[in-house]
Every structure is written in structure tokens, then in C-alpha cells.
Structure 1
């Protein structure tokens, strides 16, 4: 067979090292004959497949299949396959494993792929076999994209085979039709090659319709490296329009100029862009951190505003003789958060106040004021008691309990909540118990989030390593919850000298609550009056925490061991998960205590 896919020079094919050139892509072109059009009600009667690469046939797969039912006369008339012909043929349970082995690792191609893939997936489900996550290419869609309607009024396989000069004509038999589809595929690939489509990714991206203006801007990605990092789209006045991260900068940015980008705002952004700047990063953590910092610096209009770190809210105690909760942007020493909305923080404050005795009235009380408020039982304040004014000595334990709860020195309020849930349940007040269960789970998760982030933010210096998947290592130097330095050691390179170089070049971090020349000494911890995250961005600390939690991460060395507080919310996470499961399962009243006991 002639090679319809010419092999261009290596320089032309090296547009993206991670893309598979089309001449190196293995395609398995498949065609099915069936008893009807419904994958659920009908069965496969024949499978034909041809494996090709670089225009050469590597193998063929063909077999009749016993569908377990009679073949309708109309189908017999079209295909020529009769019930007698498939009587002795193997069932799909015996055929499918062989086909999947034949097609393993290849791109699946079919003419009207939606039909064929639906039947194959239904067969896999019937055989209790996992369907592989293979790329699928439809020659009907490709033909509609490549050929105008004037040239190809019909995209039926027979019509395309005649139009494109296929050496095989379809006959409604699986193998013959698969061979014809191979010829059609090669002819279509030859045409798109003239439009700069030389790799599998480019071919898949080519299928959706893209405006010439959008496609013409692909040159903006041509000089980007195939490396992890951050990219910045810039507009006509050099303003930053959009910031993003990528494992492969060139491939990710190029997608904005293809049909894979369907978001209206992004298409608008691309139409305005005249340049794409980039920052190469050592690994995904550095890219994520740099993105957050650049978002704050540039506030690009096409990024979602929810990404901005300054939008976080915190629940904190006020600094007054009779402290109460306040929702603020900048946390103090005794703070819980971050929260995405002010209302979420305020609602959680009401829950915690109820079980700590903290006042919820908003008046600012002086040290010597005699202030009376009705008790909570009659709709008043949790700190109120009938006929008795507030007393500083009697009120002090409430604010102390809140501080202990936030810091993880006491979990008494959580236990109070669970006792109340049990009381409601035993009294068969199941709706009240369920409401309190959900509120308590929210408290546990909010406390754990703060305590987990604070556990990393208090460490003066933490050096961690993660395998890069190729025998090397990714390194991160973390100081007070911030990424201070990053780098990599490739396979075979001694890692410790690399680590020392990264540490020597790492940023100096001055945590909130610490001042003076001793901040250069990362062996010292910040003072206890510092806010929970020591002034670090909540989003950045969260990125660091998620990176540290990845499988395979190792601590190279640290000034302080990572630990969460003994009476912190982590010990109640199991209960919170049961509470969430109880909501999903909608337990019966009788089973309520069994689920939450």
C-alpha cells in the first residue's frame, strides 16, 4: 500500500515534543455490523478492524459474532449476513477481549464513531469489562471539517470513498468497510497536513470549527517551551488580560487557538491578545504559587475574581472587655478561616457562640458596664442569664474557651454539640438533631482547615521532596507557609547539593508578629501572638499543604516537626464523614443513633 501520509522533516514535526506526530500514531480503524440501531436492544454481528501506522497496515482483525438473536430480514438485505452464518460464530464475550488487545494503545477510528463506540461500550458493560480510555476519531466529523458541502454533499462512506479515490469500496461488511475507512482517513489527513496539522493533538483540536483569526494567533505559542510554568496573555496596551498555569506551556497556550477552547470569555480574551509572556517553573507547586502572586499584582480582567486571595473572610474575637465575634478581612491572633463569604463566617460564629457562651449582641460594652440581656432560651444572647448583668470574671471563660477551640487546646464545644445531638435524638426530635449534626460537621471542617494550614504556617523552614516520575526529584523550600525556593534534581544527579543551592537562594520570609534582625534565623519560630497563617496568603498555604499531602512526598529536613494540635478538629473528622454519609443516605429515625454514635 502506498504511504498517503508523507513524513516531513524532523524540524517540522518537533512543534511539541509531547504530541505524537501523525506518522507515528497507531490507528485502529473499526467497523461493526449489527442487528439494529439500539446498543441496548440490538447486538453486534460482525467486527472488522485494521491497524495502521504511517500509512502501513500492521494487522487486521475480523470475525462474525453470534448476537444471540435472529437477524432481521431488513438487516440481512443490507449486509448479507444471515442468522445461519452467525449460528456457529463466537459470542461477544469471547470476541471482545481479543479486539481490545488488538486495539490496545491505539487511537480508535470509525465512520460515524458515535454509533460504533456506543455498541462496543455496551458490549463491554455486558461482559463486565472496563472500557479503555482511548482517543476516538470520527471520519464523518473530520470529513465535514475538511470538505466543503459543494465538494462533498454527502459524507456517507461510499460517497467519500469514490470522491477521495479509495482503493477499497465499502460493501456493508465490517472488514471491507474498515479498509475503505482507512483510505478515507489517509486522504483526509493528507489534506489537513497542508494546514499545519502534523500531530495527533493538532488533529483532534482541528475538528471543531475555529475562526481564521483565532487560528492565526497560534504563532503566539510557537516559541513557548514545553515545560511547566505560568503564562500571561497581554493586550494591545501591554496590560495583562489573563494568567494561568500549565504543565506544558506550549501545548496549553496553543489550545486557546483551537476548537478545544469553547468558553466565550476566553475567545474574547484571545481576540484581544497580542503577546503571551511566560515564566518557566521547576514544578506545579511553584507554578501555582507564582500564579496566585501574579493575580494579586495584576488583577487581570479575564480571571475569575474568586481566585484573588484578598477576598478571604475570617471569624475573629474582638479586642474589648467582653469579646464577641467579628468577621474581618485581616485575621488577628484568635481567628478561624478563611471563608469564601462573609455570611458563611457569620453563620459559623453563631453556632460556636451558642456552645461556648460567647455573646452575640453587637453593643460595645465597657469594662464597668452593667449590661443585662435575655438568655438564649428566649431568643437572646448565649452569654445572657435572666436578671443577672454580665460580669467580666464570669464571662472570661467563654472567650478563653473560644481561643482554646480555635487553637486546638480544647474540643469541649464539639463534645457539647454531640451531647446535644444525642439528647435531641433520644427525645425523638430528629429534625433538630439533623440540623445540629450538619452545623457541627461544618464547625469541625472549618476548624480542621484552619488548624491544618496553621500547622504548616508556623514552621520556620521545611524542605520537602517529591518524585518527578522519571527517577528525579522536585524540591520545595517552605518558610512560614510560603514557597521560598524550588528546584529539581534529575535522575542520576546527587540531590543534596541541589537542595543546598536552593536553600541558599531561597527568599527570606518575615512572618507577621515577628520583627527585628532575628527573622533571618529560620531556626526560630514566630511568637504565639501572630495570626494563624503568620500573614501568608490562605490560597498559597493551601497549595503548599495539598502539595505536601501528595503520595511520595518526603521531608528532607525541617526546623520544627509538622503536627496538628492534640485536641484539634482532626480527631473528629471521622465523625464528620459519618455525618455527611448520613445526609447522603437519608437515614431512618431508628438508625440515626447507630450512624452517629
Structure 2
């Protein structure tokens, strides 16, 4: 476990978090009559609004408006508003401020709200008024959710007013339509109450097509903290069904009970979930690490990215008289490795890439340094793809030692000879229009370079007994308030402790406390770290983020200058292929696929970095360049 207190402070929900009962909300139901359907080209001819709270009418607003343009004949027939009626009416510049003041602090309601609100927003922009940012409720989607086709053929205002026996019949005049909409709104609220929708905050998702059994589970988020951390959905028997992370646990868990969650497997999970366990974390990095560890520990059936370290594959150059490449599940001391790979198949593609570039033996037999009798060379030796050390009888095969050393160098240092050899072959195949074979070699090259890059990134951090770094809080994904420092203690590639110092407080006492109480981590065998490789990648990404300062490094932390990461952007290879096969063929994607292979093979160029000495204060350390 991380050496940091996870006890959440006393928490009291705010009124906003508790929600506002609908009976306490002041609604302003508005309706507009206009000269057309386009807000940018048309004008408003009438505004009508009714202010209600708890079923009681508090006030009404109604005014004709001079639209500044003729009223079309069909609009006049529909609404009864003629040019003569609006000729002496006030301009929108006089009416709009009065309406905004009438509606201030209320929730706007309209039937087909995008139309009415759209006109109001355009008029505000035209008159240089700032839109107040009203919460808006549209009765149309609510009606579609609550009124079936058996009850009403459509969801027009007139149809709904007739269905719910509204006290006023809508007649395309603004105030009458607004009064009818009030009755429709109250009738819809009566249907929402049995569904558990009794607060204003619930209306935002009331029209979502969420199954009732899922919506009823919303109470699972009621007592969760508004803090960064990890959450665990638990089912019958306290089984962990799903593990997730968020910068705000409560808001994220609430989203699972709305239409925003569209994953069928997650909806299935929510149906059987019985409770949610929160784990508040000091930093977002800690939350990410805890999520990964909990997924590895519990293997939840609804987490698609459950990680199993024992399924990671590595490519090893064996330690024997005549080394060969082998796909293994763990690293051993004294051997060259690349990886880890997500699957054995990808690791095998990296092996094929090295075999394509170097004449390493591919047989699995153990060959003595000097055989008493010459062996029988295999077919690969006849093809020039194996130096055949098995035939050496009088002295060790010195030429094979050179091949093995080249392979060791490509695995642990500069892979340029392998990249260059495979790029030559890809260019040749592309020139011969053997695109499928070129694509296969490209895939092998991508696997090799990415595996070498991962090992060269993981290895130095895995060999570092203790690294302490700091980053100003309140930037990036740091949830703390500005002014403090996010402190991280890493041991052999594993997060051992983390916390955030108080704003404007000296962070060094916290650094000392974290180093003292940090988790003890046993040294691994590099390049494998002491944690899941994905956890170490999370730490490396954090170390690469802007503003990170090194506070203490116990060992040298450095990567080769000529490493696999330097081949992340081999535009020279793409240019060379284009020159070989010509523009007409290059357009078919061969050169681009090669360039994509190089770019996708590594996520950044490495640079030679020597660990900085321990500083006296993290605020006086230059930003580090991650290995």
C-alpha cells in the first residue's frame, strides 16, 4: 500500500449537492411568437411568460414587440398578430431587458426550448447583452419520455394541453401558450415523481432512455465524496464488479445512471451492483496507480483492461555459448531483454524482426562452444540467414560472437542497424510491389522498436532505489489548490508514497516524512520494474509532465543517447521509400505505413540524462528531462 493516509476528512454536502426539490424551484415558462423560424434572420413579435413556484403563479409577463420587419401573411393568419398591431409596439431593445429582469434567478421552461431560447440568445448578442446562463428545461423531450403513443398521437403543445386538461387552450399567442405550458409542466412533474425524479438536478437526465432498474440505483452515489480517487462497484457477495478512477468520484458515479453511459456491459453491471466503495486519493497519479493495482488484484469481470503481469512477454538473448532469441515470461539477471509485450504473438514478431536483420541462429538446441563432430547446417544457413555455429569443430565461431554482440547492442542500446536493414528490405519490397510482405516487415519493425523502447525506458527507473520528485499542484491533472507541491516517491519503478503539501507551506518536511514512511520495495531484476509495467509507465508519464522537479535520486538515472526512442520519427526512411517506388506507388500508402510504423513504435525520442544531485529545495531545481 502507498505510504499516505487515505482517511477522508469530515464531509458535509452542500445544498447544491443535496439537490433542490422541484417544489422550491422558481420556473419562468416562456413562449415567443416570431416572424419566422430563423433566429438570425427573423424577429420577435410577442413575448409571454409565467413565473411559478410550488404550483403557485407568482407573476406574468406579456408584451408585443416591433420586429423591425414585416410580419409574413401566413404568420399573421397563424398567430393573429398583424403589422398594424406591432407597428406601435416597443422595440426588442426595450422589451428584452424587462424580460431578463423578470426571469432573473429562475429556471427557464419552454415547449421546444431550443427555438425560444435560440431567439433570446441571438437578441442578447445583437444588443450586446450577456446571456444570463439560465438553466433550461424543455417539456418536449420530457413528454416524449412520459407520454406514450397510445395516449397521444404526437407531442405538440395543443395535444398535450388537451390530454392533461389544461385550464388554457394554446392559440399561438405567447401568454396563452405559456399558461398552457405551465399546466403541461405540472402534469409531467406528477408522472416524474414515482420515478424518483423530485429534484431540479434530476431533470437534466429525466428524458434519458435509462431503464428504471438502473435509474433506481442513483442512490448509490449519494454518500460518495467530491474528490479524486478510485471507486469500486460491488455486487452480491461483495464481489468487485468494476473499478474506475475520476477526479470527482461522486459526479463520475452519478453518470453511470444516465443516458450518458452507453456501454451495454456497464449498464448490465449497474443492474447487479449493490454498493459503491470510494477510495479517496491525495493525487490523481495515486488514483491511477490504485486503479491499476485494484484491477490486477480483483480482476473485475466488467473491466476490459484487466492486467495480468504474469501474462507479459519478454524477448531475451539467451546466456549460452551461442546465444539465441527466446520469448519468455520473466527476466533474469545478466541477460539482454526487450519488452514487455502485451502478447506472445507481438513478442514473436519482434524476434522475427531481429532474425530478418541479423544472422542469429533460430534452432533451440544447445550447442557447445566447440563440437567434437561438425553438425549439419540447416536450410537457413544455406540461405545465408544463419552463420551456422554448429559446424565449428576446431575453434569457437568468432563470426557468431560478432552477430550476438550486434544483437545485444540492438536490444540494450542503439537499434539503428536493425532499423536500417529492415528499412532497406521494406523499400525493396515496395519497389517490387510486394506490399503485403512490406506490411509484414513493417509490423515486425514496429514490434521490435516499441519493445526496445519500453525496456530502455523501464530499466533505468527499475534500477533506481529511490527517486523523489515534485510538481506544483493545481496544474495539469493535479487536483490540489495552487501553491502547494505534489510530492511523489518512486522506488524501483513503483509508487511508494505521494501526498500534496499545503499551499505556501515548506514542502521539505513532507518530503522527509514521505521518504521515512514510504513503502519498502524489494529490488527487481531490470529492465522489469518492481511494479506492473503499466504503473511504471504512468510514473514515467508523470515525470515527463511540465513543471516536474527532481528532489532526490539515489542512483544514476539515465538512458542511452542512441536508443530506440530516437527512431520515433524516421522521416528519412519514408522519404527514401518514396524515392525508391515513385509518387504513383507511394500514394498507395506503402511509404506512409512505414513512417507510421516508426512513429508508432516509440512515444518520444530519448536523450542522455544524468541524474541531478539532491537539491536543497524543490522550488530551486530546474525542470527535469525524463529518461
Q: TM-score, structure 1 length as denominator?
A: 0.69
Give the 3 Å change call, closer, same or farther, for CA 307–158 of structure 1 in structure 2: farther
**2:604: which partner in 1?**
none
Q: How do residues 355-434 of structure 1 correspond to structure 2 at under 5 angstroms?
A: 355-369=357-371, 370-375=375-380, 378=383, 382-384=385-387, 392-409=397-414, 411-421=416-426, 431=435
**1:16: which partner in 2?**
17
Q: Give the aligned length.
A: 528
**2:217: which partner in 1?**
217
**1:521: which partner in 2?**
none
- CA separation in 2, counterparts of 1:368 and 1:175? 103
**1:467: which partner in 2?**
473
> 3-state DSSP class of the match of 1:465?
strand
Q: Alpha-carbon deviation of 1:569?
A: 1.5
Give the 3 Å change call, closer, same or farther, for CA 305–440 of structure 1 in structure 2: closer
Q: In structure 1, which of residues 493, 497, 500 is the aligned counterpart of residue 509 of structure 2?
A: 497
> 3-state DSSP class of the match of 1:404?
helix
Q: How do residues 97-496 of structure 1 correspond to structure 2 at under 5 angstroms?
A: 111-112=111-112, 138-146=138-146, 154-160=154-160, 192=192, 197=197, 202-304=202-304, 306-332=306-332, 333-369=335-371, 370-375=375-380, 378=383, 382-384=385-387, 392-409=397-414, 411-421=416-426, 431=435, 436-437=441-442, 439-462=444-467, 463-469=469-475, 470-471=481-482, 472-496=484-508
Give the 3 Å change call, closer, same or farther, for CA 357–53 of structure 1 in structure 2: farther
User: Which one has a bigger Cα radius of gyration?
Assistant: 2
- CA separation in 2, counterparts of 1:548 and 1:179? 60
Q: In structure 1, which of residues 550, 554, 558 is the aligned counterpart of residue 545 of structure 2?
A: 550
- CA separation in 2, counterparts of 1:430 and 1:108? 65
Give the 3 Å change call, closer, same or farther, for CA 192–329 of structure 1 in structure 2: same
> 3-state DSSP class of the match of 1:497?
helix
Give the 3 Å change call, closer, same or farther, for CA 20–416 of structure 1 in structure 2: farther
- CA separation in 2, counterparts of 1:272 and 1:110? 37
> 3-state DSSP class of the match of 2:17?
coil
Give the 3 Å change call, closer, same or farther, for CA 311–150 of structure 1 in structure 2: same
**Contact 2:389–2:397 (Cα < 8 Å) also in 1:** no
**Contact 2:376–2:390 (Cα < 8 Å) also in 1:** no
**1:537: which partner in 2?**
532
Give the 3 Å change call, closer, same or farther, for CA 443–496 of structure 1 in structure 2: same
Give the 3 Å change call, closer, same or farther, for CA 52–316 of structure 1 in structure 2: farther
> 3-state DSSP class of the match of 2:568?
helix
Q: Alpha-carbon deviation of 1:485?
A: 0.5
Q: Deviations over 1:159-203 (max 9, x none)?
A: 446777989986668999799878866875687578654766533
Q: Alpha-carbon deviation of 1:321?
A: 2.7
**Contact 1:365–1:371 (Cα < 8 Å) also in 2:** no
RMSD, aligned CA: 5.4
Give the 3 Å change call, closer, same or farther, for CA 433–27 of structure 1 in structure 2: farther
> 3-state DSSP class of the match of 2:379?
coil
> 3-state DSSP class of the match of 1:492?
coil
**Contact 1:231–1:277 (Cα < 8 Å) also in 2:** yes
- CA separation in 2, counterparts of 1:576 and 1:28? 61
Give the 3 Å change call, closer, same or farther, for CA 564–172 of structure 1 in structure 2: farther
- CA separation in 2, counterparts of 1:245 and 1:210? 23
- CA separation in 2, counterparts of 1:233 and 1:305? 16
List gaps (5 residues or longer) in structure 2. Answer: 1-11, 84-105, 121-132, 476-480, 599-627
Q: Deviations over 1:122-166 (max 9, x none)?
A: xxxxxxxxxxx9998653222233456677664213444677798
Q: Alpha-carbon deviation of 1:287?
A: 1.4
Q: Which moved more, 1:267-276 or 1:352-361?
A: 267-276
**Contact 1:31–1:111 (Cα < 8 Å) also in 2:** no
**1:589: which partner in 2?**
585
**Contact 1:235–1:274 (Cα < 8 Å) also in 2:** yes
**Contact 2:33–2:172 (Cα < 8 Å) also in 1:** no
Q: Alpha-carbon deviation of 1:110?
A: 6.7
- CA separation in 2, counterparts of 1:417 and 1:32? 71
